[in-house]
Amino acid sequence: MKMQHRISTACVAATLSLYLVFPAFAQGADAASTASADAAGVASPVAGSKKSVRAANRAFSKRVKKALAQTKGLESALIVVFADAKTGAVTLTGQVENAGEDRLAVEAAKKVSNVTSVTSKLTLKTQTE
Protein backbone atom coordinates (compact mmCIF):
# COMPACT_ATOMS: atom_id res chain seq x y z
CA MET A 1 0.00 0.00 0.00
CA LYS A 2 2.85 2.39 0.83
CA MET A 3 4.49 1.69 -2.52
CA GLN A 4 1.28 2.42 -4.41
CA HIS A 5 0.85 5.69 -2.51
CA ARG A 6 4.43 6.73 -3.28
CA ILE A 7 3.99 5.96 -6.97
CA SER A 8 0.76 7.93 -7.26
CA THR A 9 2.28 10.86 -5.34
CA ALA A 10 5.29 10.82 -7.64
CA CYS A 11 3.02 10.84 -10.72
CA VAL A 12 1.03 13.80 -9.41
CA ALA A 13 4.22 15.68 -8.56
CA ALA A 14 5.69 14.98 -12.00
CA THR A 15 2.52 16.15 -13.73
CA LEU A 16 2.38 19.37 -11.72
CA SER A 17 6.04 20.12 -12.41
CA LEU A 18 5.44 19.66 -16.15
CA TYR A 19 2.60 22.19 -16.05
CA LEU A 20 4.84 24.65 -14.22
CA VAL A 21 7.83 24.13 -16.52
CA PHE A 22 5.87 23.94 -19.78
CA PRO A 23 2.82 26.24 -19.58
CA ALA A 24 1.91 25.31 -23.17
CA PHE A 25 0.40 22.08 -21.83
CA ALA A 26 -2.01 24.07 -19.70
CA GLN A 27 -2.96 26.26 -22.65
CA GLY A 28 -3.53 23.25 -24.88
CA ALA A 29 -6.70 22.34 -23.01
CA ASP A 30 -8.08 25.85 -23.50
CA ALA A 31 -7.32 25.78 -27.21
CA ALA A 32 -8.94 22.36 -27.55
CA SER A 33 -12.11 23.53 -25.81
CA THR A 34 -12.24 26.65 -28.01
CA ALA A 35 -11.78 24.55 -31.15
CA SER A 36 -14.53 22.15 -30.11
CA ALA A 37 -16.86 25.08 -29.33
CA ASP A 38 -16.14 26.59 -32.77
CA ALA A 39 -16.74 23.26 -34.45
CA ALA A 40 -20.06 23.01 -32.66
CA GLY A 41 -20.98 26.47 -33.92
CA VAL A 42 -21.03 27.95 -30.43
CA ALA A 43 -19.50 31.37 -29.87
CA SER A 44 -16.73 31.28 -27.37
CA PRO A 45 -14.84 34.16 -25.89
CA VAL A 46 -12.28 34.99 -28.53
CA ALA A 47 -9.13 35.85 -26.67
CA GLY A 48 -5.80 34.49 -27.67
CA SER A 49 -3.51 34.24 -30.58
CA LYS A 50 -4.13 35.82 -33.95
CA LYS A 51 -4.45 32.34 -35.38
CA SER A 52 -7.29 31.39 -33.03
CA VAL A 53 -9.06 34.71 -33.67
CA ARG A 54 -8.85 34.19 -37.45
CA ALA A 55 -10.11 30.62 -37.08
CA ALA A 56 -13.08 31.81 -35.02
CA ASN A 57 -13.86 34.54 -37.57
CA ARG A 58 -13.69 32.03 -40.45
CA ALA A 59 -16.02 29.61 -38.65
CA PHE A 60 -18.47 32.42 -37.86
CA SER A 61 -18.34 33.69 -41.45
CA LYS A 62 -18.91 30.16 -42.75
CA ARG A 63 -22.10 29.83 -40.67
CA VAL A 64 -23.44 33.08 -42.13
CA LYS A 65 -22.50 32.00 -45.69
CA LYS A 66 -24.33 28.72 -45.13
CA ALA A 67 -27.46 30.58 -44.02
CA LEU A 68 -27.30 32.78 -47.12
CA ALA A 69 -26.81 29.77 -49.41
CA GLN A 70 -29.90 28.11 -47.93
CA THR A 71 -32.06 31.21 -48.39
CA LYS A 72 -34.46 31.05 -51.33
CA GLY A 73 -34.18 34.07 -53.57
CA LEU A 74 -30.44 34.54 -53.23
CA GLU A 75 -29.40 31.95 -55.83
CA SER A 76 -27.97 34.50 -58.27
CA ALA A 77 -26.43 36.76 -55.64
CA LEU A 78 -22.65 37.00 -55.39
CA ILE A 79 -22.17 37.74 -51.68
CA VAL A 80 -18.94 37.78 -49.68
CA VAL A 81 -19.19 37.67 -45.88
CA PHE A 82 -16.80 39.33 -43.44
CA ALA A 83 -17.51 38.44 -39.81
CA ASP A 84 -16.05 39.25 -36.40
CA ALA A 85 -16.77 36.40 -34.00
CA LYS A 86 -15.85 38.46 -30.93
CA THR A 87 -18.33 41.28 -31.58
CA GLY A 88 -20.85 39.41 -33.71
CA ALA A 89 -20.59 42.04 -36.44
CA VAL A 90 -21.17 40.89 -40.03
CA THR A 91 -20.51 42.82 -43.25
CA LEU A 92 -21.99 41.67 -46.55
CA THR A 93 -20.33 42.76 -49.81
CA GLY A 94 -20.85 41.78 -53.41
CA GLN A 95 -23.60 42.05 -55.98
CA VAL A 96 -27.32 41.33 -55.99
CA GLU A 97 -29.98 41.61 -58.69
CA ASN A 98 -32.28 44.01 -56.81
CA ALA A 99 -32.94 45.75 -53.50
CA GLY A 100 -35.20 42.89 -52.41
CA GLU A 101 -32.24 40.47 -52.48
CA ASP A 102 -30.26 42.96 -50.40
CA ARG A 103 -32.96 43.02 -47.71
CA LEU A 104 -33.32 39.25 -47.91
CA ALA A 105 -29.58 38.74 -47.38
CA VAL A 106 -29.49 41.10 -44.40
CA GLU A 107 -32.48 39.38 -42.77
CA ALA A 108 -31.00 35.91 -43.35
CA ALA A 109 -27.69 36.99 -41.80
CA LYS A 110 -29.45 38.49 -38.76
CA LYS A 111 -31.11 35.12 -38.05
CA VAL A 112 -27.74 33.39 -37.51
CA SER A 113 -26.99 32.84 -33.84
CA ASN A 114 -24.56 35.31 -32.20
CA VAL A 115 -24.94 37.90 -34.98
CA THR A 116 -25.28 41.29 -33.29
CA SER A 117 -25.19 43.59 -36.32
CA VAL A 118 -25.26 43.33 -40.12
CA THR A 119 -23.82 45.97 -42.44
CA SER A 120 -24.76 45.72 -46.10
CA LYS A 121 -22.30 46.98 -48.69
CA LEU A 122 -24.08 45.08 -51.45
CA THR A 123 -24.39 46.72 -54.86
CA LEU A 124 -26.85 46.13 -57.67
CA LYS A 125 -25.62 44.21 -60.71
CA THR A 126 -25.57 46.28 -63.88
CA GLN A 127 -27.62 44.98 -66.78
CA THR A 128 -25.30 44.59 -69.78
CA GLU A 129 -26.77 43.52 -73.08
Q: Per residue in 46-101, pLDDT tens?
A: 457 999 999 999 999 999 999 999 999 998 889 999 999 999 999 999 999 999 99
Contact 87, 116 (CB under 8 A): yes
Give the whole-angstrom CA distance, residue 67 versus residue 109: 7
Q: What is the pTM of this model?
A: 0.61
Domain boundaries, the chain: 1-40, 46-129
Pick the CATH number of 46-129 from 3.90.1330.10, 3.30.470.20, 3.40.50.300, 3.30.1340.30: 3.30.1340.30
* pLDDT of res. 3: 52
Contact 73, 101 (CB under 8 A): yes
Q: Per residue in 19-47, pLDDT tens?
A: 444 444 444 444 444 444 444 454 454 45
